[in-house]
Each structure stands twice: as structure tokens, then as C-alpha cells.
Amino acid sequence: MVPAHVPHARVVDFDIFDPPGVEQDYFAAWQALADGQGLVWTRSNGGHWIATRGDVVRALWMDADRLSSACLAVTPGLGEVMQFIPLQQDGAEHKAYRTPVMKGLASRFVVAMEPQVEAVARELCAGLRPRQACEFVADFAEILPLNIFLTMIDVPLEDRPRLRRLGAQLTRPDGSMTVEQLKQAADDYLWPFIEKRMAAPGEDLFSRILAEPVEGRPWTVEAARRMCRNLLFGGLDTVAAMIGMVALHLARHPQDQDLLRAQPDLIPAAADELMRRYPTVSVSRNAVADVAVDGVTIRAGDLVYLPSVLHNLDPACFDRPEEVDFARSLSPMRHTTLGAGAHRCVGAGLARMEVIVFLREWLAAIPRFALAPDQPVTMKGGNVGACTRLPLVWTA
């Protein structure tokens, strides 16, 4: 049922988890929704708004006073069950818990991790190079960032496949688990580690955060569970998806491979530009007050979906947005690939470093590569879109 305050002309049938054509092209599937209107209402997933013009996406993403992050996602019941800290908090409460998390992910810790990221990337490349082919998602993109994150929280690397499946259920649910089962699976896995960190902190990320007081108070067990649950899911999907899209671009544009190999000093700027060009993260917000925008009113209680792809690829927001230009003057804060405003991704610095290291190590180790001519690239939608299959080939 469409609410009375939603104009009929704004109603569409669009499932964010399965946009038409998404398996072939995530970005084209989303851009088909951008028809000049700033907001549309979809009947799918219980009914919610979707911001479809770049200026509206950005403005609503920044409006933390009237749009709350408590809902987490449009998936019914997910936010009420997960109760992430600090992602689902707002205002002063969000700031109080975000501060220890940001201290735990401070730049000095990210810099200290870089040699380890390099080592993992080199080991993967060394194993792949003689094969002259790989399925990049499974063979690299889902290994590098997950291994690094699991190392940061000091849990066994052999648990990666198990945790990867949980991460996919959060961002691209397939119905095989209820949200309650997903939360319970994460909590059952995390609790022994949390208990140990709270009793005897070590040098890992969870220990660093839990050692930081929250406005002068120690972490409670419940708050610690919610924070660790948040970071676990936050570290399982987004960077893997990002690296996959970057590799896809390079496979399609060998001249960009050649340029970055010849001028490796361009790699940091290239990482920023490629992250802008290939955004796959979307967030959900629930209105806590009426918001008048684009000629309609978002009523308190409505859900709003904000896709970064429709901001970053809007020609009114970025000049020639679909063109990759490594000389583009671009601040990572301008695009919304890693969020915007008060809820900008707490791991943004780590994510950027991992993309830079991937580019540097992969291009140094792997010869000019291309898409496998006889195997399709496949993609999937959801709160984090991604390549699900990316077959690459190269010659020795």
C-alpha cells in the first residue's frame, strides 16, 4: 500500500536488492532510476523513498538532525535486531561511542598495518601470476581485505569463509537466515573474543577500542557486543566490493593499467578517482521529523534509501562523472563512496590504504590483464553492490 502523502507520479516498482539488469551492470541498473526527479517511492521491501538525484542524495545523507540512522536498512526488522554501535546511533550518543572507535582506527595504526597489507597482496599475486588467469573475486578481492581485518581483530584467518557468508547475508540477504539468526550467529562467534579482550586487553583493534572510556565510563558488556558486532559486519564486505570494481575497470581499460605502471606516483589519486567512479554502498535513514524536499514531504516514520552511485555519477555534481580522470582534482570527502557527514565510514582511511596497496602490488606483479573472453562478469545489488564473478586472464 502506498501512503496517502506519496504522489502517484513518484511511485515506482524497484527492488534495491534486485534492480532490473543488475547482474550485468550494477551502475546502469541504478542509473535507469534517475529520471530528473529527486525522490521516488518504491512499493518493494515494505515501501520506502529512494533519493535519485545527486544533490538530494548528498543533502539527505548530511541531514543527521531529521534523518536517523537507527533503522540500519530497509530490510524489515534488521535495525531493531542488530542495534549496531556506533552506526545506528545519532547525536551526542553517536559521538560518545564513535570517538573510541576512531581512536582505535587512528592513522598511526593504519600506517602500521600497511606492510602487512603489502605482504598479503604480494603473496596472493605470487600465487596467481603463474596461473595466467583467476576468478578475481574469490581469488583476491575477498581474501586481502578480510584477512587484514581479521588480523586487526585477532581472530583466526581460517574463519574467513564462515564470516564472509555472514557479511553477505547482511548486505545482500538471500532468505536463508532470519535477521535474528544472523545476529545470533555473529554474537556466538564474537563472544569468546570479547570476553577475553575485556578481561585482558591486547594490541588488537577490539582491545584498543574497549580500553578507551566512553565519556569517562568503561564499556558495558552489552555495548561492547554491539560495537564488535558493528565492526565485524562493517569489515566483511565493503572493501572487497570496492577492490573488485577497481579491478573490473582496469581490465576494461588497459591503457589505465599502462599509465599507472609507468607512473606509480599517480596511484593514490587513481585510487580516489576509481572509488568515486565505482561506488556501491547505499545507506538507509528513518525520518524522525517531516522533511520537505524536491516538492514532496518525507513524513516522520518514512524510510529513505540513499545510493552513493546516484550522487557520484550525477553530472550536476561531478563534471564528466562516468569518465575516469586520474588528474581530477578530487577530495575523498566530496564523494559519498565512503559516506558523508557525521556517519562517514570509520574505516575510510584503512579502506583507501588497502585500495592503494592493491593497485601498487597487483600492477607490479601481474602483466597486462583483461576480462576472460568466454566467461561473463556478474554483479549483484543490495546495500553493498558487488561483482560476484570477475574472470581475468593475462599472458606470462
CATH code of the domain containing 229: 1.10.630.10
pLDDT score at 330: 64
pLDDT of residue 332: 60
Comparing 150-164, 185-199, 273-287, 331-345, which segment has the lowest mean pLDDT?
A: 331-345
What residue type is 257 in one-letter code?
Q
The answer to whether residue 193 scores a pLDDT higher than 80 is yes
Q: What is the pLDDT of residue 255?
A: 97
Question: For the chain, first and last CA: distance in Å?
Answer: 58
Of the pLDDT bands very low, low, confident and very high (cuts 50, 70, 90), residue 129 is very high
Q: What is the mean pLDDT of the chain?
A: 93
Q: One-letter amino acid identity for 252? A: R
Quick one: 325 exposed, middle or buried, by C-beta within 10 A (0-12, 13-18, 19+)?
A: middle
Asked if residue 319 has pLDDT above 80, the reply is: yes
Domain assignment present for residue 94? The answer is: yes
* Domain membership flag for residue 1: no
Q: Are 341 and 334 in contact (CB under 8 A)?
A: no
- Model confidence at 180: pLDDT above 80: yes
Residue 331 pLDDT: 63
3-state secondary structure of 283: strand
Per-residue pLDDT reduced to its tens digit, 208-252: 999 999 999 999 999 999 999 998 888 778 999 999 999 999 999
Confidence of residue 94 (pLDDT cuts 50, 70, 90): very high
pLDDT on residue 379: 97
DSSP 218: P
Q: What is the average pLDDT across 134-151?
A: 94
3-state secondary structure 89-105: CCHHHHHHHHHHHHHHC
DSSP codes, 314-365: -TTTSSSTTS--TT----TTTSSTT--GGG--TTHHHHHHHHHHHHHHHHHH
For residue 294, the 8-state DSSP code is: T
**Domain-located, residue 183:** yes
- The HSE-up count of residue 238 (CA atoms within 13 Å, CB side) is 24
Confidence of residue 333 (pLDDT cuts 50, 70, 90): low
pLDDT band at 169 (very low <50, low <70, confident <90, very high): confident
* Predicted pLDDT at 185: 92
162-171, 297-306, 362-371, range with the lowest pLDDT: 162-171
Look at residue 102 in the predicted model and tell me its pLDDT.
95
Q: What is the pLDDT of residue 163?
A: 85
Report the domain count for the chain. Answer: 1
Is 324 a member of any domain?
yes
Kindly state whether residue 282 falls inside one of the protein's structural domains. Answer: yes
- Biggest alpha carbon–alpha carbon distance for the chain: 63
Inside any domain, residue 3: no
Residue 365 domain flag: yes
Cell numbers 562478469 correspond to: 377
pTM passes above 0.75: yes
Let me know if residue 251 belongs to a domain: yes
Region 57-65 average pLDDT: 94
**pLDDT higher than 70, residue 104:** yes
**Alpha carbon distance 271, 242 (integer Å):** 10
Query: pLDDT tens digits for 242-292?
Result: 999 999 999 999 999 999 999 999 999 999 999 999 999 999 999 999 999
Which range marks the domain in which residue 185 is found? Answer: 8-394
Look up residue 199 and give its three cell numbers. 578481561
Read off the pLDDT band of 141 (50, 70, 90): very high
